[in-house]
Structure 1
Amino acid sequence: MMWGQAMRGILGLICFIAPMGRMESESDLDFKMCGTWLHGTGHRILKYALTKGCGSPNISALNISANKTTLSITGTITASHESVGQIQLNDTTWGDSSPFCVLWEPLVDRLRVEVNGRNYTVLRSAGLQERCCTDLSSKDQTSAQTSYGIVNGSMRTDVMSYKTQGTFGFYGQTINCKKEFCEEAQEATRKVNIIEEAMMKSGVLGIVNSACFQGEVMEMDADFTGRDITFPGEGTARGPRPSMRRPAVHLPACLKPDRPGDMKAKVVCTFFKNNTIFKIKEKVIERKQPNAWILEDVVGISVENAIISGLPEPVKIGFHHPALPKNHSRKCVSWDTRTAPNEVDWKTDGCKTVPIGEDKTECHCNHLTYFSILVQIEQRDSQCHLEALTFITAVGCSVSVLSCVILFYSLCKKRKNKSKDQSSPIHRGLVVTLFFLSLLFILTGVLANVGGEPMCRVVGALLHYALLSSFCWMAVEIFHTFWMVYMIFSSPPKPVIWYMLGFGIPALPVGILVSRDDIYGLREVRPSGDVDNPYMMCWMKDNSNAWLAHYLTNVGFLFLLISTGLVMLFVVLSKIRKRDEWQKRKLAFLSMWGLSCLYGTTWAFGLLEIGPYYCPVTFLFCIINTLQGFFIMVRYYILERIRNSKESILDGSTSGSTRQHMLQAQERN
């Protein structure tokens, strides 16, 4: 009989502990004792008698005993109130044995007993306790005088006795529970969630204070219309000092619980007075965010038994902080310890940063977790003299737009006159793409502020297409020149081939990238002197996928264009440098400059924006390339004038004139 009871007890313990592993997380300060109660088949009773104190050196703080009819929980263990009574247990589905667990939560002064999977709260929480009885250890065990009692008694997962015992006694000690609780959470960052769980279990609404945090617990029902929470700050009798002001939280109405009837949901807002509890290590932040750190204040928001994300109306958290220098940026970040429990992982996803003055920042977030402010010294991501560069870009692009219109008109007029210049279609293609590229650069800031993210997805893709198309048409200029110089007796490809190369090739990468949601959109360019007032534009976003697309397309196209353009420029100049016209310095300089524009070599300045010459090179790059359409137009008209006055053999296109010069040389031979 004893063997059969023992086997049933082991099986019952295994079946009961399995679901217990899926319970809410527990603090290491909590006590949990489980076993199998061997009893009779009649009526059974759960008795309890709990009083204030923590036992004594000779008296157990908690005693758990069992006999044929009664499971008893007695002791001197509570911090704030007493509980005495009994509960009838009439469940007979388990026959003559029942798995049970006794769970003592000292921080909230609550004791629960589970028998056969049913939960009985024998000591209800009275809030977070300052002094509590914990660190319970087993010292006294009394063997059962009969076959009834507790078998396979264990603390957490450690078995204390496989034998049938009548009583288990546990000794404890009184500690500063809130302080120990904070230290435990700080030692294991993944356990920081137990702070909110403890406040939810405490059964108390309102302000909760501790050594490491300050919190407020409230309830939401179906009529919840929103709530503003302000944590009281430290200061004088006249009020909190500005430097000590606490964060303020606005909870929107959309947080209200989607539950039947009058069921309510608890909300816990927690303010952490410093970020040490989150294990903020400088080397961790430095690796992911160079020259960055988290401000002291951290706010956590959670809803009972729910994971909140994708809110239609954001939660707003206002942080007060010292005034930051102009070259320091501030970003709202969040860290969900449930999805990234073992590593510090502050992210900007789901949060919008709203600067309010120099010493206050508001975070608008569509989810609930832990929030703070990431401060970063802006270097590479900031732009020197952004206002001046923006003005130069606007003026230069406006001049290029007008120049492209004039030059396009002249090229079309030349076509009507049935000119045999075979480079005119290529020049027209380049002029068209430069026109749209310059125009979109002028409008990108306005469209970003007016249309926002949806508009910028379209404009960013069009701007990228215009840029790649300009590179392609410059490459066509290079190839056409090569053809004219070395394929003297062969007819060049038809214009339709050039149009397919210039307009068709860039459509392929842009068409692939536009199908993704994380490539094109709103982009912020931060001035180095005032990083909190960024310039908004429509372009590629600032994320890893967009940067990868930038390097593969823009930098890849540009590197190929510049390398072939420099080689071709050298080849062409070596062919014409012995001509009489080359001795005229103005014409030589003009030809070199015009060919450089046509072959895209001026874009090489974009690859030199590094080191101490970053700002000067940036200005030079901006001036030269925004006026590219103007320079090409000036070169075209000067060479047309020279050709018409017969001062040179060159015609309106370098490639065409070079071909004519070489053909004439062949005829003379």
Structure 2
Amino acid sequence: MKQNPKTVRMWMIICLLFSLGLAATENDRDFKMCGTWRHGSAPRNLKYDLRTGCTEIEISASESTLSIRGSITVKCTRSSSVPLNSNPLQNQSDFCVFWEPLLDLLIVEVNGKNHTLCKPKDLQENCCTDLSLGKQKNASLYGIVKGSIHGDIITNNVMEKYAFEGQSINCKKKFCDEAVSQTSRGANMIENVVMKSNTTGRVDLPCAQSTVIEMKEGFTGLNLTLPASRTEARNMIPSVYLPSCLKSATKSKSKVVCTHYKARKLFQGGPSDSTLLDDVVGLSVENEIIKNLPEPVRITFHHLPFPANCSGKCVSWDTRIDNEENWRGDGCNTFNINERETECHCNHLTYFAILVQVEQKATVRHLEALTFITAVGCAVSLVSCLVLFYWLCKRRIGKKNQTSLVHRGLVVAIFLLCLFFILTGTVANVENKTACVITGSLLHYSLLSTLCWMAMEVFHTFLLVRKVFSSDIPPWVFYLGGFGLPALLVIILLSIGDIYGEKKIVPSENVTGPYRMCWMLDGDKSLLAHYIINIGLLAVVVSSGAVMLFLVVKEIHNRPEWKKIHVSFLSIWGLTCLFGTTWGLGFLDFGPLSEATLFLFCIINSLQGFFLMLRYYALERMKKKDDSISDGSSSASSKQHMLQPHEKS
């Protein structure tokens, strides 16, 4: 197919402009001039005379001398002559001149051998760059052939000299602008130039602040706070711990660069429902790829509290998978120290950050109303437990009453449960981690103790109804089961660690205002303990209580007093609370009636102490009424036995 000449010319112009654009972009940062030096067979040398300033650099060649002279450096002032390897049979040599203004670095390469004329310094603020072609001088025989800039041929003629004029600019700012425009490559550019600088300690750029650490023999690890810009608060700057295993045993010393980035444009990618925090930390070791560290590096990020429905996750910048740059959680573990501090433990080196993601966890409807109802119910139960405990102690005087002992243990456990539930929200808002761990463990202990004493009630009633033993069980058996076993379980969980702490419950009406309480955390270990201990014990208590309730009702349902509605209701209701079967409502929190079940659960169980006191008071009233009947009929005795089937002394 025949091409239109105009179309062909248009595409050639576009390609030429594109090529020139790429060359100009690269030339903005570094200068690279190459050519072929045509010389004689006599001994040759490299001569240079360099001065500070920003006028021009002249590159010239003669029969025996390659000369570099001019004023383009910031700190380098050098003048000397270097003999070159001479081969009488060779009449030409390839050479290149490299100038990196940001580092004040000038290198001349002749026949593959480098000659550093100006060694790298720390990064320069103002420097001479954007070298453009100036005056040129032709030669007849000896000189420079095929002179080029960044691979683009200037001329094929033999030239005696090339002159390039410089321009003084803010080199750091321009370098950062170029790095940010390169996005995925920009961070690598920054770390590479910092690594090449002949400096240790702090290195400042407008787009990043770095610290260069030299690891020598005997390196035992290091804690450091990364440098901050002048506008940043010191208490918000990330800190890093470098483990001793970072130092290679095969090298006497090596450099590690720790960089603090604030330019998020350098890093793209990540889930659409997440946000990258401003701080990014880059870690790299000179000429090494570090991974699978036996001891992780630790990066501590300081930040504002996350929204109630969000959580922070440690991520690293990964380019290994499908050649795509992205933030991934592989190789990093997240530790939430508190709501303003997150620590990342990572077994490799790259760029690290905190990714804030919306948590896909269920919110609780009517949380404020449920909390208020439970708090009021617990307050009423607290007073009721005190009154009931006094009555039980008064009844115990002068008697050896095992039933009263079991009742007292249950009353004390319910009292502690209500007390610590009321305190848990107040302690959580104090934001003291240790106090919250202690309160959470005490709340868990009182819950387990309550369930265990309910199990003791079931066990004791079973012994009385079935007349298994003729003698009483020693009191210490009940104390060990009701108070000792829960204490042992809580101590084991405390020794494991990361079980108790601050827990946030998010209301659906206001996701930014969570309810805080000291309880079991949401980690894997806490959830495992919750399902095995809490749910397991609750299932045992509810199921055994339900069986025991059925046996007691079966035992007394043929008695004439059972026909009276208020007596039967009082018996069933009292035994239901006593045996803990009301806690079974927690297993019914699903389906269309879940909200009603939740309200019923909170009301009944928070008022459990009150219901037990009410039951005891009603029984005492009935006993006094029966005692007042002079005929001492058997019906009165049977009624007392029906209402208190397990309260025989």
Q: What TM-score bracket applies, with the shorter chain setting the length? A: 0.5 to 0.7
Distance 1:614 1:476, change over 3 A: same
Q: Any idea what the Cα deviations from partners look like across 1:289-337, whole Å, max 9, x if unmatched?
A: xxxx3126653135787998476xx745799xxxx8xxx7233443245
How many angstroms does 1:267 deviate by?
4.8
Residue 399 of structure 1 and its aligned partner are, at CA, apart by 0.7
Q: Counterpart of 1:610 in structure 2: which amino acid?
A: F
Conserved 8 A contact 2:211-2:227: no
Q: CA deviation at 1:534?
A: 2.4
Structural mapping, 1:107-506, within 5 Å: 186=184, 194=188, 196-198=190-192, 200-201=194-195, 208=206, 215-217=207-209, 227=228, 250=234, 267-273=259-265, 277=268, 279-281=269-271, 293-295=273-275, 298-302=278-282, 309=298, 315-316=302-303, 329-337=309-317, 344-345=328-329, 348-350=334-336, 352-353=338-339, 364-365=341-342, 370-376=352-358, 379-380=361-362, 382-418=363-399, 422-450=402-430, 452-487=432-467, 490-506=470-486
Within 2, Cα distance between the matches of 1:126 and 1:192?
Answer: 18
* Distance of aligned partners of 1:113 and 1:618 in 2 relative to their CA distance in 1, 3 Å threshold: farther
Gaps of at least 5 residues in structure 2 are 1-28, 38-42, 48-58, 61-70, 84-95, 131-147, 154-174, 214-224, 243-254, 287-295, 346-350, 627-634
Which residue does the alignment assign to 2:64? none
Offset at 1:626? 0.6
* Distance in structure 2 (CA, Å) of the matches to 1:537 and 1:527: 13
2:559 to 551, 572, 579: 579
In 2 relative to 1, CA 51–206 (structure 1 residues): closer, same or farther, beyond 3 Å? closer
User: Could you tell me which amino acid in structure 2 is paired with residue 398 of structure 1?
Assistant: A
Counterpart selection for 1:52 from 15, 27, 31: 31
Mean Cα deviation higher: 265-274 or 449-458? 265-274
Give 2:52's aligned residue: none
Q: What does 1:586-665 correspond to in 2, within 5 Å?
A: 586-646=566-626, 648-649=636-637, 656-657=644-645
**Contact 1:274–1:298 (CA<8 Å) still a contact in 2?**
no
Q: Structure 1 residues 522 and 179 mapped into 2: Cα distance closer, same or farther (>3 Å)?
A: same
Q: Take 2:263 and 2:305, find their aligned partners in 1: how far apart are those partners?
A: 12
Root-mean-square deviation over aligned CA pairs: 5.6
Look up the match of 2:89: none
Distance 2:101 2:544 in 1: 73
Q: Distance in 1 between matches of 2:378 and 2:640?
A: 24
Q: 1:128 to 1:388 in 2, by over 3 A?
A: farther
Spell out, residue by residue over 1:373-410, the C-alpha distance to the aligned partner (whole angstroms, 9 max, x if none).
52415542x33222222221221111111111111111
The CA distance in 2 between the partners of 1:473 and 1:205, in whole Å, is 66
Whether 1:561 and 2:551 are equivalent positions in the alignment is no
1:534 matches 2:534: no
Kindly provide the CA deviation profile for residues 589-619 of structure 1, in whole angstroms up to 9, marking residues without a partner as x.
2211111111111111222333554433222
Q: Distance in 2 between matches of 1:651 and 1:424?
A: 19
Alignment check: 8 A CA contact 1:206 1:216 kept? yes
TM-score scaled by length of structure 1:
0.59
- The superposition leaves residues 428-472 of structure 1 with CA deviations (integer Å, 9 ceiling, x where unpaired) of 111111111111111112223337111122222221111111111
SS at match of 1:414: helix
CA contact (8 A) 2:226 2:258 kept: no
Structure 1 residue runs of 5 or longer lacking an equivalent are 1-49, 63-67, 90-101, 133-168, 209-214, 231-247, 283-292, 354-362, 664-669
- The letter for the 1-side match of 2:622 is I
The 1:264–1:569 alpha-carbon spacing in structure 2 relative to 1, beyond 3 Å, is closer
Question: SS of 1:349's equivalent?
Answer: strand
SS in 2 for 1:522: strand
Name the CA shift for 1:300/1:560 in 2 (closer, same or farther; >3 Å).
same
Aligned residues: 489
User: Are the aligned partners of 2:276 and 2:356 in contact in 1 as well (CA < 8 Å)?
Assistant: no
Partner-residue secondary structure (3-state), 2:388: helix
Could you say if the C-alpha distance between residues 318 and 445 of structure 1 is closer, same or farther in structure 2, counting changes exceeding 3 Å?
closer
**Partners of 2:276 and 2:353 within 8 A in 1:** no
Residues in 2 aligned to 1:339 and 1:609: alpha-carbon distance in whole angstroms? 46
Conserved in 2, the CA contact under 8 Å of 1:393 and 1:623?
yes
Equivalent-residue separation in structure 2 for 1:483 and 1:410 (angstroms): 24
User: Is the 2:212–2:257 contact (alpha carbons within 8 Å) kept by the matching residues of 1?
Assistant: yes
What is the CA–CA distance in structure 1 between the aligned matches of 2:559 and 2:152, rounded to whole Å? 102
Aligned 8 A contact 2:414 2:450 in 1: yes
Q: Quick one: distance in 1 between partners of 2:210 and 2:186? A: 20
Say whether the 8 Å CA contact 1:265–1:304 is kept in structure 2. Answer: yes
Cα distance between partner residues in 2 of 1:266 and 1:604? 56
**2:499–2:526 CA contact under 8 A, matched in 1:** yes
- Match of 1:280, as an amino acid? G
User: Residue 314 of structure 2 contacts residue 334 of structure 2 at CA under 8 Å; is this kept in 1?
Assistant: yes
Q: Does the CA-based 8 Å contact 2:240-2:299 persist in structure 1?
A: no
Question: Per-residue deviation at 1:564?
Answer: 1.3
Asked if the contact 1:351–1:366 (Cα under 8 Å) also holds between the matched residues in 2, the reply is yes
Structure 1 position 507, deviation (Å): 2.0
In structure 2, do the counterparts of structure 1 residues 376 and 401 end up closer, same or farther at CA, with 3 Å as the change threshold?
A: same
Check the 8 A contact 1:640/1:651 in 2, yes or no. no
Q: Work out the CA distance in 1 between the residues paired with 2:572 and 2:101.
A: 81
Counterpart of 2:501?
A: 521
Contact 1:200 1:268 in 2 (8 A): no
* Equivalent position SS for 2:261: strand
Q: What is residue 157 of structure 2 aligned with on the other side?
A: none
| Cα distance in 2, alignment partners of residues 429 and 298 from structure 1 | 55
SS in 1 for 2:505: strand
- What is the distance in 2 between the residues matched to 1:318 and 1:637? 51
Residue number in structure 1 paired with 2:164: none
Q: Is the CA contact (8 Å cut-off) linking 2:191 and 2:257 kept in structure 1? A: no
Distance (Å, rounded) in 1 between the aligned partners of 2:479 and 2:431: 32
| 1:357 matched residue in structure 2 | none
Tell me the distance in 2 between the aligned counterparts of 1:652 and 1:81. 109
Which residue matches 1:512?
492
Partner SS, residue 645 of structure 1: helix
Question: Partners in 2 of 1:399 and 1:527 — Cα distance?
Answer: 25
- Determine if contact 1:457/1:522 at 8 Å carries over to the other structure: yes
- Judged with a 3 Å threshold, the aligned counterparts in structure 2 of structure 1 residues 219 and 462 are, in CA distance, closer, same or farther, namely closer
**TM norm structure 2:** 0.60
